[in-house]
Amino acid sequence: MGMGDTHGSRFAATERAAGPHPKVQSKGPFAHPFLPTCREDLDARGWDEVDIVIVSGDAYVDHPAFGPVLIARFLEGRGYRVGILPQPDWQSAEPFMALGKPRLFFGISAGNLDSMLNRLTAQKKNRAEDQYSPGGRTGCRPDRATMAYAQRCREAYKDVPVVLGGIEASLRRIAHYDYWSDKVRRSILLDSKADLLVFGMGERPILEIARRLSEGEPVGDIRDVRGTAHVLSEADTREVIGDTSTSVRDGKPLLLPSYEEVRSDKHAYARMAKLFQLETNPKNARALLQLHGKRAVYYNPPALPLEDDAGKGTGVAMDELYDLPFTRTPHPMYDEPIPAFETVKHSVVTMRGCFGGCTFCSITEHEGRVIQSRSADSVLREIREIRRMGDFRGTITDLGGPTANMYKMKCSKPEVEAKCRRLSCVHPFVCPNLGTDHGPVIDLMKQVREEEGVKHVFIASGVRTDLAELSPEYVSELARHHVGGHLSVAPEHVSKKTLSHMKKPPVAAYERFTAMFRQCSQDAGKEQYEIPYFISGHPGCDMDDMIELALWLKKEGYKPRQVQDFIPTPMSIASAMYWTGIDPLSGEEIYVARGLREKRMQKALLLYWDPTQHELAREALQQAGRQDLIGKSPSHLVPPEEKRAWRQKRRKPRRPPR
């Protein structure tokens, strides 16, 4: 069944019957363009109940870039009655009853970001703005929102299944280091007391859960869905383990080091991180088991990727998601703009996933290493939807995804991919089996910019330079048509040692790309520059490495305005390095800058040109024994401290004699 048929038959029967939300006007064939958020919305539709309630830590923006909304619309498109509770007050259970008791389950997400990362910086200070809340206000969601929401849902309706999802739950599914409390925490599934946890991009598993619950299957029996985790009782744990062996035998999951082990032994933590990473290819990953006391958390293999194009399979296709009837606007309940929406409202996602395997990035752990791409027709249909937006003036602000130029790329040998456990297709070298043809993305770029009403199409997503340099045609197209003066790229560092720990290509790849990009810009008659992004404080990076980077920046004439201070996000390989001081993939002990002041000093070196950073930068240079770089000549990095002139105290004038 095509998506047009889906919309016509599954939506119209329920949506045309009654009047709209009090602040929502009818739009097109649907009387209710937004998902219900309150009891009045249900009454307007003539619904006595909803099947599923999605609880989100983000404001309700009806746009595919907002993960909880994408899942809600997807389930609605498959025939379920779905309501959404955006940023409910978590102080009591009452706000979680606003839509009544859901027939099937509560689906809980902290939002598009981990709630702790959303609130706190690398220096553990409160952020000034929450991009996903009205007016950028902070305090609209609790810390560890997934756990708080799960508790309130359970209080509201004790017998309704609670299913966790979203990036916070996904990245905290195993025992994990939590930077903000500086300790190893157990699986969020145990702490939240939920029934199931969906990890990764959840369309396939959440659909199967909904179907099986709808057919009357108890949630406790749903234990075999790929891309989900559940808790085993003491008795079931003993039965599954059978003995203390850590070998993989018929019907046995791979046993990870226990929570108690990884909490107290950093070598055990590093071993857990490596074992987990090697089981992330959905085509060969095994089930995992991790003991937490006398119970255990059981992790099914990851969900299979979505089909690229609609109609090619009987499962779920990428195109289907973006053909759903999003209004592409915030809900009218809000009187203030949602900053994150302003960033993405005229952008288009073309793919998901990343095979780069950068150790500091959690995209791979959540979206997977397999690239899942939309068809060109799907992208063009969304462009036409954007054109209908009242404030569209002809500029598509981004055409990309996690990496702009991985569109349609995949392994050229499926039989090899089915067995491969390599964590990166491009490090330490580009795999010869990887299809690196940029032809599909070049064709897509051409089609989009030729679409009626489109004047400019920019690429704001990151460009993988070691792939881009393999295609001079792509770089030429990029420079000639898709850069508005500045191109964002992310070499991250120049130190060979640090780049190796990051699993990033040598800086020579970036330098070759920039030379190619500048030449192509010159050939196009354009003055354009690349804006490189760098990370300070990454595990394996010491002060000497940062000085090397600062000197390179000065030599190249770069004055970075923004520097990413490394934040250990849950489950990433770099977070394991930070906590343990061990590279889990090599077993090598590495240097880690843990103190907040040292992290500030590393960052100050990259801002060598900024007078406000000179004091910290001088302290860093002195600590590294590089006083030779303090001075006023062009070869120096920062100027010496200025001596303050002593001020003469004013003497009180003598009284004249009487």
CATH value at residue 32: 3.40.50.280
Query: For residue 24, what pLDDT band results from cuts at 50, 70 and 90?
Result: very low
- Report yes or no: 177 and 575 within 8 Å, Cβ to Cβ: yes
pLDDT mean over 187-201? 97
Region 102-118: what's the mean pLDDT? Answer: 97
Concatenate the DSSP letters of all residues of 60-90 into one string.
Answer: -B-STTSHHHHHHHHHHHTT--EEEEES--T
CA distances to 544, 572, 597, 617 from 594, in Å: 16, 17, 9, 17
Quick one: how far is CA 93 from the chain centroid? 29
- pLDDT at residue 249 greater than cutoff 70: no
**Main-chain phi, psi angles of 57, to 5 degrees:** -80, -10
Q: Is residue 125 part of a domain?
A: yes
Closest CA to 348 of 390, 379, 387: 379
The yes-or-no verdict on residue 395 having pLDDT over 80 is yes
Place of tokens 């940062």: 546
Residue 411 has pLDDT above 70, yes or no: yes
- Give the pLDDT confidence of 535-553 residue by residue, as tens digits: 999 999 999 999 999 999 9
Cα–Cα dist 528/235, whole Å: 65
> Does the structure show a pLDDT above 60 at 105?
yes
Q: What is the mean pLDDT of the chain?
A: 90
Residue 644, pLDDT score: 60
11 pLDDT more than 70 = no
Contact 187, 289 (CB under 8 A): no
Q: Give every strand in the sheet of 162-164, ordered side by side.
A: 82-86, 52-56, 105-109, 162-164, 196-198, 228-232, 295-299, 288-292, 254-255
Whole-model pTM? 0.90
Structural domain boundaries enclosing 33: 3-227
Determine the Cα–Cα distance for residues 178 and 430; give it in Å rounded to an integer: 33
- Say if residue 452's pLDDT is above 80: yes
Please give the pLDDT value at position 27: 37
**Measured distance CA(396)–CA(346) in Å, rounded:** 5
- Asked if residue 546 is part of any domain, the answer here is no
Report which of residues 363 and 449 the model is more confident about.
449
Residue 381 has pLDDT above 60, yes or no: yes
State the pLDDT at residue 309.
Answer: 61
3-class DSSP string for 358-405:
CCCCCHHHHHCCCCEECCHHHHHHHHHHHHCCCCCCCEECEEECCCHH
Residue 449 is assigned to a structural domain of this protein: no
48, part of any domain = yes
Q: If 0-12 CB within 10 Å is exposed, 13-18 middle and 19+ buried, where does residue 529 land?
A: middle
Q: Which of 391, 394, 409, 395 minimizes the C-alpha distance to 350?
A: 409
pLDDT (mean) for 52-63: 98
Number of domains present in the structure of the chain: 1
Answer yes or no: is 262 within a domain.
no
For 443, residues 6+ apart whose C-beta sits below 8 A from its C-beta are 376
Range with the lowest mean pLDDT among 10-24, 156-170, 189-203, 308-322? 10-24
Rounded Cα gap, residues 500 and 416, in angstroms: 25
Establish if 382 belongs to a structural domain. no
What confidence tens digit (pLDDT) does each residue in 307-355 have?
Answer: 876 544 447 889 999 999 999 999 999 999 999 999 999 999 999 999 9
Q: Between 25 and 98, where is the model more confident?
A: 98
Q: What is the mean pLDDT of residues 293-306?
A: 95
DSSP-assigned letter for residue 638 = B
CB 430 within 8 A of CB 436: yes
Within 8 A by CB and 6+ apart from 251, the residues are: none
Q: What is the mean pLDDT of residues 633-657?
A: 70
Short-list 530, 537, 528, 531, CA closest to 502: 537
Confidence category of residue 188, pLDDT binned at 50, 70, 90: very high
Give the strand pairing for 351-352 and 372-373.
antiparallel
**pLDDT tens across 344-360, in order?**
999 999 999 999 999 99
Site of tokens 């509560």: 106
Write the pLDDT tens digit of every residue in 500-530. 999 999 999 999 999 999 999 999 999 999 9
In 3D, which of 79, 37, 31 has the Cα closest to residue 54?
Answer: 37
Quick one: which of 167, 160, 124, 123 has its CA closest to 145? 167
Max Cα separation, the chain?
112
Q: What is the DSSP string of 244-279?
A: S--S--TT-PEEPPPHHHHHH-HHHHHHHHHHHHTT
Q: Give, rounded to a whole angstrom, the gap between the first and last alpha carbons of the chain.
A: 111
CB 520 within 8 A of CB 476: yes
Q: Rounded mean pLDDT of 579-591?
A: 96
Structure-token match 């079931």, residue found? 236
d(CA 377, CA 379): 5
Tokens 């009387």 map to which residue?
31
Whole-Å CA distances, 541 to 362, 500, 528 = 19, 10, 31
CA distances to 1, 145, 250, 329 from 138, rounded to whole Å, are 43, 13, 50, 21
Is residue 467 included in any domain, yes or no? Answer: no
Q: What is the pLDDT averaged over residues 60-80?
A: 96
Residue-by-residue DSSP string for 137-184: -S-SS-TTHHHHHHHHHHHH-TTS-EEE-HHHHHHTSSSEEETTTTEE
Q: Is residue 113 a part of any domain in this protein? A: yes
In this predicted model, which residue has the larger pLDDT, 242 or 538?
A: 538
Q: Which of 396, 412, 531, 372 is nearest to 451 (CA)?
A: 396
Q: Is the pLDDT of residue 429 over 70?
A: yes
